[in-house]
Structure 1
Amino acid sequence: MASKEQQVATLINELAKSTSEYDDEHSLSLCDQLIKLQGENDTLPLHCKVVTLIRLEKYHDALSLMGRKLRDNNSIDLTFEKLYCYYRTNQWQQALELLDAAKKSHPNDTAVRFLEAQLLYGQDKFQKAIDIYESLLQQVDEQDAIYEEVQVNLLAAKAGLAFLAPEASVSGVTPSAHSGYEVTYNSASIELAQGNFTRASELLELARKQCNERLKGQDVAQDEVDEELAVIATQLAYTYQVQGRVKEAMDIYQDVVASKIHDNAVNAVVANNMMTIQKTDDLFDAAKKMKLATGKEADSKLKQYQKRIISMNEALLQMFMNKHGSCKETIQRLIKQYPDLDELYVILAGATYHQQRKADKAVEELKSFAKLHPTSLAIRFATIQLELLSSQPASALKTLEDYLEQVKGDKKTANRPAVIALLVWLYEQTGQSEKAMEILDQASGYWKDNHASNVHVSSAAAKTAPSSSPQSSATPSILKQTAAFKLKAGRFSDAAVDYEQLVKADPTDTQAIAGLISAYAEVDPAKAEQYGEALPAITTNTLLNVDELETVVPGVKKGYVKKDPSSGHVKKPTSKKKRAPLLPKNYDANKEVDPERWLPARDRSTYRAKGKAKKAASRGPQGMNMEGGGIGSTGSARLAGRQQVESPTSSTDAAPEKAPAASPSATNTPSKNANKNKKKKKGGKNKW
């Protein structure tokens, strides 16, 4: 039998081998055997078990083991292990306290700074995390194993910032063929957050290919490959979903669900996104998916902004399921966490409107929210929508004017094309056309002065640009609104000037060319003909009969129009379809149909009575004239008493003598009931 030292040495060698092969379940078993042999005073197997539990993502078990067995042991430093467990279990307060102590005891330590950046990333403090990661990239050697991990985390932080604050300026990297799939995936996420969906789709397809090749080249199990590919596939499906390609997105989501992966965060995101595609079609199925998305298993892995979006969708689902109280409770809880998120106030007012079906209370709530957030466009637009639903355009105009008064210092916000379009429309609805024209001139002047260079961009150049910002399309949009309004108001010369500027900026804009022709047709027909050649040719419809159209009289049905007798077309007479007779299931055409099939069974010739009913059937119903019955030889009572039967030779012409009516006392024999009711005499016997 091997000695204790030999057993320990063998177990340590096996532990080193299983750890290098990532066989963590076997490593955990070996750690338990070492602890049993060495005792709990040996810190090496305990430390190995803590690391193995972390690798198995059993963070609570690792924290419990460190708290029970290694709390008072000063011979081993477990600061990093505790920090990482706190980070993965979202215990931010304990993590920050431990981080402060670690920064004092390990100043300028790369591992501590790396963990600090991860903690900031987990709390959605992406900009601070980016600053630390960028400084680490400058300190770490490119050949170091941690360099690629820092780069991956830096791109992940940039992607998170781009999703959280789309207006932030975030720059990614261009992945190469030799880049890891994590770098490609995070670069695609940045492109997706910035609205470059085509580029994001290309990078995600590349990341999927790189992941498949790399993991299979490392002989990784297929289950682990599927786990990694599911993350990329879910992001690709989301890219399709935001582009409106919901069928392709739904197919990918269903494939991810069918693969039955164990990543709770991916399952939660997939369930949430599938629910948003279904909308209100199947609320009970949506409730099942929401239960999966809000489960405790996914809570520790989801980012804060992901939890916020899922919670908002949960509130919307509760509203559509008429759980208005639960909806308001959910929103009030979110408002405490995110008081500056305008969408929450809109949902809260929407729940009130959905519950009462009246806009007054909801408008009152929105106006109270607007006092807390006077520059919130979402709250103002929701108020305007409810006021327009209540047929109050004047109130809607006042709401929009109040908003513009609050943001008058920000010219860019006040002159946004969507805001100007709504303002002009409200002025038209309230009969203030001159004021609408004044607003359009003012807005177009602002965009010309501040973004003049953006007007002279052709559509061909715009297609090659990596992205199109709202500012680049603001001037053409405002100019189109201004020109269309001038054309509608009869100011054809002014409209022609604006349309001409639009056509020069983009000669392929057929809408601007058509407007220019309409304007020149009123003031300069020669120029209208000149620009008319730039319009695309009209495609002729070969199926259209022009001669037949000339015979059509407006307001008269086609059948009443007089036909030309010379036309060779003869309309076939319409034959009326005969409905097939309804036949029974057991119908046989070879058998003769029973003519008595519609008669009740008792009236058919084949009817045979059963039991006591036979006598009743032979007598027939009361009053029926039966052959040989009544006053005949059937044994029935004769009302006239006994009567002499006439001779067969007697004449049939003689009228029979009417028999006198018989009284009840004339009955010869007492009835059976009468005998029954008769009392016996006491003390005597029957004389017979």
Structure 2
Amino acid sequence: MTTSTPASLSVLLQTLSLDDNNSHEEFLRQANNILKSSSDPDTLRTRIVALIKLERYDEAIKSIEQSGAAGLALEHAYCLYKLGDLKGALEISIDKVETERRQRALKHLHAQAQYRAEDFQAATAIYEELSTLPPLVDNEDYDLKVNLGASEAQLSFIGKDGLRPKKRATAEDLQQYETAFNAACISVARGDLNAGLMLLRTSKKLCSNLEGVSEEDIQAELAPVIAQEIYVLIKLGKLEEAVALYKSSDILETTDEAAKLVASANCYLTSQTPNPHVGLRVYEALQKRPEGSQKPFTFQSDILDQNTAILNLQAGKENAAIASAKALKAKNPNDYTLSTIVASIELQTSDSSSAKSIAKTLKDGASRKLGSTADIGIAFINAQNYLKENNVTSAVAVIETLIKELENQPEKRWLPGLVGVVAGLYTLQGRKNKAKAELEAASAYWRSTANPDPAILLATGTAQLNSSNLQDRTMAASIFESLVASHPSALSNAGYVASHPAEDMPSRIAQLTPLTTLLKDINVNTLLDAGVAAPQTKKRPLESTSKPQIKSRKKRKIRLPKAGIDPNKKPDPERWLPLRDRSTYKPKGRKDKKKARDLTQGGPVADKDGDTEMIGGNAVTKVAPSQSAASKNKGKKKGGKRK
């Protein structure tokens, strides 16, 4: 029996055709025969590639580890990635790959692993780096463009694209369904639903008209597009159209389990009054979620879990709702939207209506169920209720109590969302120095961490640029230098130029967006046709709301005689005099007459001796009492006891 040499068997392997469906099995069988008598490196790689083509990744990894052969790092990383071991795939260093072509391939794999690990910032950075290099294989530049667009879309969905330029769909994006779909996702994530719907329908049309692609593959590619279109229709309030699209499409027959799951869950919620008990059964049927590369992203699965908790609450299963909320809280400790579930349970059995009473109700119940009084979600609810009542002071007091309780938990105390709320409330109160101090303290914390938050740094640098203090402007320059190095963008570059002397950086100024580019979308003729707002010619007094408005007095109604006014009758000339001064005034009774005589100006006044006085210039004589009356009185004696 003759023994075949590795060289002769390598020639035999080259004669096999990859067009044959059984070629991979044949490659594997021939490679196994060779490896029984020789450890040829090319044959070993051929065997491993054949196992990968047959999706037998466990066997491929076992063969790599047993052989200990060098030069198989790329294949090893790929097998780990396909098995869902993203961390293991990322730990394989590019330095272990010997050629530039294979190093580039491993970078592609690392970017894809970062994407599946939901580190979209790292994936975007790798794709941008690869895009600056000349392509080594056909269509690599197009693949990089598609993958970069997908990473940017995911950054938009999780709200971390604040420093990235706001891209718009170009005519080139509308040529292929992948680029049109990515542009649609970016528009949807940024709230431009109508533009997103138009781009989604364009992508669906382009995908349906693909040539040389099987119907099964087309349906698999259409599944995420249809699922996204259903979501947009629901957000636009077109519920009937969304249900019709769900029923008419073949999305339930697709192999994309994630798209099927999201579309089915969203379509159930289109009902105006969904039955929570039926909804729980629907969600239970969807609990078998796909794994591996088809597993939904965390922000998608978390929303599905939140919907389950809310359905439990609506169905009256409070314990199940609390258990779901606690499980989600343990998995995502910084997700405080779950606090609304606990707040709903506490408030549905209380009569609280004012912000103060709601805060009192939530203080004990929420802390008992959530296990902590310093819950950011509950504090935000209370602050929002106070703001609805225009009570900014109480809202600030709630947030200040919260941050005092979080002093020993810096990872929570300096969360970007919390910092933004604190700075916003201080600004609303007009306390700009307090807002600036909050941003500076947050920036100092984040700059001491491994991954500084770019939004915090940008806000702090902008606030310090507005200061006239030289030390603040120096700190702003330092912040923008770090931003330009770690997160280069148009905003960070503009901040860097604004915080440094212009004569020292002509290269940086050249990187700023030209004015012609900024103004290219402005139509001057349209602005002129719309007219120019003319300034006011008259000065209007400032409307002051601080002074209390004085109510105008109500005009007295003119009272007229019932019989009307007789034109022939002359009015009384004494009508303007007081009643007692008129000639027709007649006091009633003797006492009134005497009193009127004594009190009237110009009347007679007599002293105790009966003498006459001059009153009003007229002599008035008083008659003396008669003698008879005097003697009569004199003759009277007092009665007494007889002796």
| TM bucket, shorter chain | 0.5 to 0.7
Alpha-carbon spacing, 1:277–1:112, altered in 2? closer, same or farther (3 Å): same
Shift of the 257–283 alpha-carbon distance from structure 1 to 2, 3 Å rule, reads farther
CA contact under 8 A between 1:211 and 1:229: conserved in structure 2?
Answer: yes
Q: Is 1:271 the equivalent of 2:272?
A: no
| Partner of residue 584, structure 2 | none
Return the offset for 1:309: 1.6
Choose the corresponding residue for 2:205, options 205, 209, 215.
209
Whole-angstrom distance in 2 between the partners of 1:298 and 1:408: 36
Could you tell me which amino acid in structure 2 is paired with residue 191 of structure 1?
A: S
Aligned residues of 2:246 and 2:267 also touching (Cα < 8 A): yes
Structure 1 counterpart of 2:104: 110
Q: TM-score, normalised by structure 2?
A: 0.53
The answer (yes or no) to whether the contact 1:40–1:46 under 8 Å persists in 2 is no
The within-5 A match list for 1:441-520 is none
Per the TM alignment, residue 169 of structure 1 is displaced from its structure 2 partner at its CA by 3.8
Mapped to 1, the partners of 2:134 and 2:428 lie a distance apart of 45
Counterpart of 1:502? none
Given the superposition, is the C-alpha separation of residues 415 and 396 from structure 1 closer, same or farther in structure 2, using an over 3 Å criterion? closer
Is the 8 Å Cα contact of residues 240 and 246 (structure 1) preserved in structure 2? yes
Match of 2:179 among 176, 183, 195: 183
What is residue 188 of structure 2 aligned with on the other side?
192
Mapping of residues 315-394 of structure 1, within 5 Å = 315-353=309-347, 362-366=362-366, 376=376, 379-380=378-379, 382-383=381-382
Aligned residue in 2 for 1:79: 73
Aligned equivalents of 1:299, 1:355: Cα separation in 2: 43
- Whether 2:120 is the aligned partner of 1:126: answer yes
Paired with 2:315 and 2:248, the residues of 1 have a C-alpha distance of 28
Query: Residue 16 of structure 1 aligns with which residue?
Result: 18
Question: Could you say if the C-alpha distance between residues 253 and 38 of structure 1 is closer, same or farther in structure 2, counting changes exceeding 3 Å?
Answer: farther
AA matched with 1:128: A
Task: Call closer, same or farther: CA 1:285–1:31 in 2, change over 3 Å.
Answer: farther
Q: Is the 8 A contact 2:114 2:123 kept in 1?
A: yes
CA contact (8 A) 2:384 2:395 kept: no
Match of 2:279 in 1: 286
Matched residue pairs, number? 408
Q: After superposition, where does 1:157-176 map in structure 2 within 5 Å?
A: 157-165=151-159, 168-170=162-164, 171-172=166-167, 174-176=169-171
Q: By how many angstroms is 1:188 displaced?
A: 0.9
Shift of 1:287: 2.4
Report if aligned partners of 2:227, 2:260 keep a CA contact under 8 Å in 1. no
**What is the rounded CA distance, in whole Å, between the counterparts of 1:119 and 1:50 in structure 2?**
21
Cα deviation, residue 123, structure 1: 2.2
Question: Separation in 2 of the partners of 1:33 and 1:154?
Answer: 39
User: Which SS does the other structure have where 2:54 is aligned?
Assistant: helix
The answer for unaligned runs of 5 or more in structure 1 is: 55-60, 418-448, 450-459, 466-481, 493-688
1:145 aligns with 2:144: no
Q: Which residue of 1 aligns with 2:472?
A: none
Matches within 5 A, 1:557-636: none
**Aligned counterparts of 1:415 and 1:81: Cα–Cα separation in 2:** 56
CA offsets 1:527-583 (integer angstroms, 9 cap, x no match): xxxxxxxxxxxxxxxxxxxxxxxxxxxxxxxxxxxxxxxxxxxxxxxxxxxxxxxxx
Q: 2:224 is matched by which residue type in structure 1?
A: V
CA distance, structure 2, for counterparts of residue 191 and residue 491 of structure 1: 53
Query: What displacement does 1:28 show?
Result: 5.0
- For 1:80 and 1:7, locate their aligned partners in 2 and report how far apart those are by CA, in whole Å: 25
Moved more, 295-304 or 7-16: 7-16
Distance 1:304 1:88, change over 3 A: farther
Q: Which amino acid aligns with 2:262?
A: V
How large is the Cα RMSD of the aligned pairs?
A: 4.7
Tell me how far apart the structure 1 counterparts of residues 373 and 82 of structure 2 sit (CA, whole Å).
36
Q: Is the 8 A contact 2:181 2:225 kept in 1?
A: yes
The Cα shift of 1:48 comes to 3.4
Q: Aligned partners of 1:13, 1:345: CA distance in 2, in Å?
A: 65
Equivalent-residue separation in structure 2 for 1:277 and 1:323 (angstroms): 22
* Alpha carbons 1:15, 1:30 under 8 Å: kept: no
Cα pair distance change 1:335/1:371, threshold 3 Å: closer
For residue 231 of structure 1, report the CA deviation from its aligned partner: 1.5
Change over 3 Å in CA distance of 1:264–1:134 after alignment to 2: same
Contact 1:161 1:168 in 2 (8 A): no
* Residue 498 of structure 2: aligned partner: none
CA shift in 2, pair 1:106/1:192, >3 Å: farther
The alignment partner of 2:255 has SS state of coil
Tell me the percent identity. Answer: 19
Q: Please give the secondary structure, in 2, of the residue aligned with 1:244.
A: coil
Match of 1:559 in 2: none
Distance 1:379 1:316, change over 3 A: same
Conserved 8 A contact 1:271-1:290: no
Q: In structure 1, what is the equivalent of residue 239 of structure 2?
A: 246
CA gap 1:126/1:394 in 2 versus in 1, 3 angstroms? closer
* Partners of 2:348 and 2:83 in 1: CA distance: 38
Q: CA deviation at 1:228?
A: 0.9
Stretches of structure 2 lacking an aligned partner (at least 5 in a row): 38-42, 353-357, 404-418, 430-465, 467-521, 528-541, 552-643
Q: Distance in 2 between matches of 1:144 and 1:289?
A: 45
Whole-Å Cα distance in 2 between the matches of residues 265 and 27 of structure 1? 32
Q: Tell me how far 1:148 sits from its aligned partner.
A: 1.3
Following the alignment from structure 2 to structure 1, what is the Cα–Cα distance between the partners of residues 329 and 318? 16
2:306–2:325 CA contact under 8 A, matched in 1: yes
Q: Matches of 2:99 and 2:11 in 1, distance apart? A: 37
For CA contacts below 8 A with separation 6 or more, give which structure has more relative contact order.
Answer: 2
Give the letter aligned to residue 378 of structure 2.
I
With over 3 angstroms needed to count, the CA separation of the structure-2 counterparts of 1:380 and 1:126, relative to structure 1, is: same
Pair 1:110–1:4, CA change in 2 (3 A): closer
Aligned to 1:260: 253
User: Deviations for 1:95-132, whole angstroms, at most 9, x for unmatched residues?
Assistant: 333x3x44455698222222222222222222222122
Q: What amino acid is the match of 2:167? A: G
Contact 1:318 1:327 in 2 (8 A): yes
Q: How big is the shift at 1:158?
A: 0.8
Q: Distance between the aligned counterparts of 2:95 and 2:289, measured in 1?
A: 32
Question: Structure 1 counterpart of 2:114, which letter?
Answer: L
Which shifted more, 329-338 or 34-43? 34-43
1:50 corresponds to: 51
Deviation at residue 34 of structure 1 after TM alignment: 4.4
Q: Distance in 2 between matches of 1:127 and 1:408?
A: 22
Q: Which residue of 2 aligns with 1:504?
A: none
**Shift in Å, 1:246:** 1.7
- Assess if the C-alpha contact under 8 Å between 1:366 and 1:383 holds in 2: no
2:187–2:195 CA contact under 8 A, matched in 1 = yes
